[in-house]
Structure 1
Amino acid sequence: MNQLLKKVRLNQFKLPQFQRDFVWNEAQVALLIDSIARNYPIGSLLLLEPSPEIRLSTRPLQVAVDDSESTLGNSLSENPPEDEDTPTEGQELLILDGQQRMTSIVRVLLNAHPQKTYWFDLQALYSSFEDERSDWIKKTSFAGVKDPTRNNGRWVRADLVTEGEEQKHVIDYFLGFFKEERDKAMKAIQKVNRIFETIRNYEVPYILLDGQEGIEAICRIFETINSTGTRLTTFDLAVARYFPEPDLRNLYERARSSHNLLKRFDIDGERILQIIVLIEKNTEPSRSEQLKLRKEDINKNWDKAVSALVSAIKWAQSECGLEPRYYVGESQLVALAGALADLEPKKQQAFLVEKRDKLVQWFFANVLQSGFRATNYRIFIHYKSLQKLLEEGQIPEDDLPEVKLDLESLINLAKSDNRYKAIQALLRRVIPEDFYSGSRIESDVLEIHHIFPRSFGGKKKVDSIANLVPLTSESNQLLSNRNPSDYIRDLKDRMGINVANHRLRNALLPIQFTPGGEINPLILSDDQYETFLRERGKLILEKIKEVLGNRLAENPPDD
């Protein structure tokens, strides 16, 4: 423990800029210190020794260390030499994982909290430590207090323990507390001293990376060890890599403020860097390529990449029905933005209009693939295909994959399947108006309505894509939990047979009213639910066929 705290005083530990701020609450801090006092494992720190290949901008720990009156540095001068694998004095070390633990230890054991001082309650340690309680750790609201004790000697300032300066206060307190019962006093002193000795001798485990492994290996190691925490993204690394010029975090927040679409779709800053790689390097926008960008590349292309990405998302919204609630096609949008970025605004618009049908087919042929995932490799393939479209008017066949989707598969798609979201987008595209009210469905009032409600008959496939239709929030609320045969008859009574039939066709609902006002076919009852799903699924497949053309397999083989 003392070796670690010495390195803190020497300002050796730094936080890469991608690390978030300290967020632990007081209960978490107390539990950590209590675990150390009991010699429980607290997990390893992941440290990185910077190298010429990996230079990350850093900031200090969120602590207020004052070494002006400390004897900690001198107290270690007679320690034996460190092992070869131990970080040497003065060596900068970046904390990749463990900043919450490290900051907590330093704030308590070096009296380094910016607003508080920590104390150890000697009486609580003596009387209730065995009860696995951590309430022996106390705090007061003033930082940097110099008094060694409080409450008539019962509380000892926490940082004294690390330097062995607490012992005389422990002796004085228990001799005074037990008065003539010297044996009890000595037992109490020994018990509390053993606890403090455990703290002083505690060895905080760490893993030291020497920086020679390369940025990809460093990220893999971080993500493996930190699997239960926040994932280290490429953009996090880039923020640290380039800070303070350019300040990517600031650029990213400004872009989100200027373009609400980026905020609504929760677009990661990495997408902008990927676009810059495409237009600047014409290569696969991998993590390593993003981190090899020159500062001038980013400054020159940032605004252009942001603008192109916004244009790509707007196009996908208007032509493909894309919405934040079913956001798919991220790799296609990055590639499209790359293709748009070097075009003047008028040429961008002309390209999107003239090649609309080919682009829509390309988009859905890719997002309707089973198990689809966005990858840097696919982004580059898509980008090259769109360049071909720009130059030669055609998208290569190998970037228009065949979609294998039959009626049974469509009806039984899981909500977690990317194709489920893709078909929701397609329904949004082909059903722009609310069939019940006739109003246009704007993004801010869009809701997804279950034609047969969950409360009607307890159907197993109530979330089937064939049971969904886009509506306005007002209509969805009005129709909620109602029998579809009831509200569809209500539609006929309000609007008449012709208008009702027109709206039902446009909503891909597989029913019509006869001239006599009867619903045909009679498939809106609970016992006909499976039949309803099949009939509506056929109508949805027809729309998918209209978009995909020959890219939809007529009779896909069983998977």
Structure 2
Amino acid sequence: MAEPQQQQTESIKFLMDNIEKGNIVLPEFQRDFVWDIGKTYELFDSLVRDIFIGSIIYGKPSFEITVRNIDKRPRKGAGSRAKIETKFFTKEEIEHKTQINNFRLVLDGQQRATSIYRALKGIDDIWIIIKNDEELIEDIQNKEFKDRTLEEIIHEFNGKEDEDRLSVKLSDAYTIIKSDDFEDEIKSKYFDSLIFLTGFEENEIKNVFRKFMGTIKKLNELLGSEKLLSYYLLNMNTEKFALFFERSNSKGIQLNFIDILAAKLYKGFNLREEIDKLQNSYHISEYQFNREIIVRTISYIISNGREVDRTYILTNLNYIHFNEYWDKVCNYYKKVIDFLFKENYILSQSWMPYENMIIPLIIFLNELEGNDFSQMNERQNEFISYWYWSSILSQRYSSGTNEVIVQDCTILKRIAKDQKTTDKSYFNKIKIQMKGYEDILSLTKKGSAVYKGVLNFLNFASKGLLDWPNSSKLTFNSKLEDHHIFPKQYIKENYSDDENALSLIDCVANRTLLPKITNIRIGKKAPSEYLMDIKIKNIDIEDSLTNHLIPIELLEGLYDEFYFDFVEIRAKQIFETIENKIILKEKQILNNFYKTPVTSNSGNKKVFANYYNKRIEATFDIDTEKILYKGKKYSVSSAASKAKEDLSGKVNASTNGWKFWKYQTDSEEVRFIDDYRKSNILTK
């Protein structure tokens, strides 16, 4: 193949401009865009932190070729299954376009390029969440906002706005950067509707708007940086073009932070040796123990329920901690896997949507009386089931994982003690966003957590999936594949002119988990044909189909020529099952596990805040909504500003006081006094 030219760099703005002008396209045969939303969060986080994301490889062909545009379809709903338009260019047209317009094909890096484009154009909602001042380390707090880097102030990227922190949607930022709007127009269009502003006073809103505009400026600098994206440009003929795709499939070896930790602990605890012992100790080869799960769980315990991130782990954990907690955590780890399998939450670890969800379950077990799932009462079992499936289907673990883990561990600790939570907002965070069966039809990407979640949920709903040749219950870690109920080749051959059917080939409603050997034998036959072959071995095949939520009429051939009807009916059945077992239980879960934190609407309440690693105490007058701080009365937010000024020496260090001052409930839960404000609003 052609030797690449020297590595070059370009800006994201330049990439976006060229995609919009049609100068950067994909070869028609490139695979579809498959990244789930979590991958996009990670990509932008890497860009902000100047972590190398790999080079984009462009090709300048010298031959005729059919191309297609970047995938601009919504992830679900209307247009999500529309056919991506293709266009054929002759050799002469290609030569003209490459010379005049710098026309290029994306040979490698289309997932990254597509993710960037979709986020900045608002096809995918991606928000950058900015840390509050009190969350910053002292050195960063001492800087003016304009002097802080994005890396220093970023909390996370997420798919929705954060009600407790300043949030900026990337597509809004990109639109503002490209527009000639004045500040008052920007404020009314993009800023005033932010839920974070609730409870702010006028002078604070002005300060937050300055931070909003400052963040836009920093994003503009990021997107305009000529050194952000690296690329190679290959000039190639057809033979070399083909060789590139045959030979560009290698992967590098990545150093994990756990390897660094292992070196640090080696003096008193051999992490690598212990994980090998663990893997062999139960004589259950199917179980796979992830060392990162164990390490983060120990971190949560050592930090008293505050930290599971790599910085804390590498800085604070030592071999003494591991000698003390390793065996205990590993024992609970095994119990969690046992529980998830026996209660039909998973069929195999490889198909588990979010492995990090094991950590809160270990913490739950650690707090549960008897330290065994058999000791759960029905209410606790009800919450675990709701939490597990809602977290998966709401994609809760796709971003901000460290914070999510800590929050879920804290909630599950309370549930293990048969206590309710006073954090009502938590239930919105695990709320499933599915509205109908169309959401099931939109799930076509095998790697997505929701796709995996739906397939696992079928196992849960049926109390264990059955194999088809003999109706036996599938065992743990059977070598499973997401089998096409209507075989892929059958659809391509029989529905070649039906774009709607072709777009739904890989839909989760046309998939179910089966052992690989069963899948191989099915081949590309019509559903009724291969099912009748199986029925020779298993006269009760109808029971297996029903078990997988598959209409038994499929066996009779009634759907062979009506694929879309089949997939729509099954999608409806799947959604209705999710609705009945999870979505309709939302109110019941809220009633059973939430209690209003405010016990009095009058009187005084001791409050506190943590800033610059110091604790500040004051008194909150519930009736007047004033703070008594150092002998003087202030508004809630003015008191916060004054307290921060006293500790930092900085004037105008304003913040939303309702999200600054905290109190402790009777059940020892720490909450923001925003609870009082919300309670008063509801009673007025």
Q: Normalized against structure 1, the TM-score is what? A: 0.52
- Pick the structure with more strand per residue: 2
- Offset at 1:381? 0.5
CA distance in 2, matches of 1:457, 1:282: 51
AA at the equivalent of 1:421: K
- Offset at 1:276? 1.1
Matches within 5 A, 1:292-307: 292-307=316-331
Matches within 5 A, 1:8-407: 230-259=253-282, 266-280=288-302, 281-291=304-314, 292-319=316-343, 320-341=345-366, 343=368, 347-351=372-376, 355-370=380-395, 372-373=397-398, 375-392=401-418, 394=420, 398-400=425-427, 401-405=430-434, 406-407=436-437
CA distance in 2, matches of 1:245, 1:423: 44
Closer/same/farther in 2, CA of residues 328 and 388 from structure 1, 3 Å limit: same
**Which residue does the alignment assign to 1:98?**
none
CA distance in 2, matches of 1:340, 1:457: 47
Check whether the contact 1:277–1:284 (CA below 8 A) recurs between aligned residues.
Answer: yes
RMSD between aligned alpha carbons?
4.0
Residues 145-179 of structure 1, C-alpha deviation per residue, up to 9 Å, x if partnerless?
xxxxxxxxxxxxxxxxxxxxxxxxxxxxxxxxxxx
**Which residue does the alignment assign to 1:427?**
458
Check whether the contact 1:360–1:547 (CA below 8 A) recurs between aligned residues.
Answer: no
- Offset at 1:476? 2.8
Check whether the contact 1:412–1:464 (CA below 8 A) recurs between aligned residues.
Answer: yes
Closer/same/farther in 2, CA of residues 352 and 424 from structure 1, 3 Å limit: farther
Check whether the contact 1:265–1:327 (CA below 8 A) recurs between aligned residues.
Answer: no
Secondary structure of residue in 1 paired with 2:489: coil
Closer/same/farther in 2, CA of residues 253 and 345 from structure 1, 3 Å limit: farther
Residues 76-122 of structure 1, C-alpha deviation per residue, up to 9 Å, x if partnerless?
xxxxxxxxxxxxxxxxxxxxxxxxxxxxxxxxxxxxxxxxxxxxxxx
CA distance in 2, matches of 1:352, 1:477: 43
Percent identity over the alignment? 22
Q: 1:471 aligns with which of 496, 499, 514?
A: 514
Check whether the contact 1:331–1:378 (CA below 8 A) recurs between aligned residues.
Answer: no
- Offset at 1:495? 5.8
Closer/same/farther in 2, CA of residues 344 and 250 from structure 1, 3 Å limit: farther
CA distance in 2, matches of 1:452, 1:425: 19
After TM superposition, the structure 1 stretch with the greater mean CA deviation from structure 2, 421-430 or 299-308, is 421-430
After TM superposition, the structure 1 stretch with the greater mean CA deviation from structure 2, 239-248 or 353-362, is 353-362
AA at the equivalent of 2:362: A
> Are residue 510 (structure 1) and residue 551 (structure 2) matched?
yes
Q: 2:478 aligns with which of 421, 445, 462?
A: 445
- Offset at 1:437? 2.1
Check whether the contact 2:347–2:456 (CA below 8 A) recurs between aligned residues.
Answer: yes
- Offset at 1:488? 3.4
Matched pairs, number? 332
- Offset at 1:533? 0.6
**Which residue does the alignment assign to 1:5?**
none
AA at the equivalent of 1:508: L
- Offset at 1:359? 0.8
- Offset at 1:259? 4.4
CA distance in 1, matches of 2:419, 2:272: 38
Closer/same/farther in 2, CA of residues 455 and 343 from structure 1, 3 Å limit: same
Residues 378-407 of structure 1, C-alpha deviation per residue, up to 9 Å, x if partnerless?
111111111111123557654442111232
Closer/same/farther in 2, CA of residues 398 and 432 from structure 1, 3 Å limit: farther
Residues 489-536 of structure 1, C-alpha deviation per residue, up to 9 Å, x if partnerless?
45667666xx454333222112349xxxx938x2232xx111111101
- Offset at 1:300? 0.6
- Offset at 1:473? 4.0
Q: 1:545 aligns with which of 574, 579, 588?
A: 579
Q: Normalized against structure 2, the TM-score is what? A: 0.43
- Offset at 1:317? 2.4
Residues 232-259 of structure 1, C-alpha deviation per residue, up to 9 Å, x if partnerless?
4231221122222122222222222224
Check whether the contact 2:365–2:371 (CA below 8 A) recurs between aligned residues.
Answer: no
CA distance in 1, matches of 2:491, 2:301: 55
Secondary structure of residue in 2 paired with 1:457: helix
Closer/same/farther in 2, CA of residues 495 and 416 from structure 1, 3 Å limit: closer
Secondary structure of residue in 2 paired with 1:445: coil
Check whether the contact 1:402–1:551 (CA below 8 A) recurs between aligned residues.
Answer: no
CA distance in 2, matches of 1:492, 1:271: 43
Runs of 5+ in structure 1 lacking a partner? 1-39, 42-211, 218-223, 554-559
AA at the equivalent of 1:438: S
Closer/same/farther in 2, CA of residues 493 and 243 from structure 1, 3 Å limit: closer
**Which residue does the alignment assign to 1:408?**
438
AA at the equivalent of 1:336: L
Moved over 6 A (4+): none
Secondary structure of residue in 2 paired with 1:290: helix
